[in-house]
Amino acid sequence: RLGLPELLIILSILLLLFGAKRLPGLAKSLGKSTKEFKSALEENKVFFILLLFSLAFLACGSETVSESV
């Protein structure tokens, strides 16, 4: 985790690199990107859970078929 001194150093470097005028726009675009990433992660989480259940079902089904033969 980042503490207060680390955050101040990072903010100072960003301020030097991009300037005070561009920093709010960068923060806004970073916030939008983070929000979009989190929503995409949530959408894909449901897909991966269904995929895992499907694979588990198929694995269990193939074991019962091979045991009965």
- Residue-wise pLDDT for 10-27, tens only, equals 989 988 988 888 888 888
Residue type, 23: L
Q: pTM above the 0.75 mark?
A: no
Distance CA 19, CA 21 (A): 6
- Residue-wise pLDDT for 41-58, tens only, equals 888 888 888 888 888 888
pLDDT at residue 69 is higher than 60: no
Beta carbons of 56 and 48 less than 8 angstroms apart? no
What average pLDDT score do residues 1-14 get?
A: 89
Place 30 in a pLDDT band, splitting at 50, 70 and 90: confident
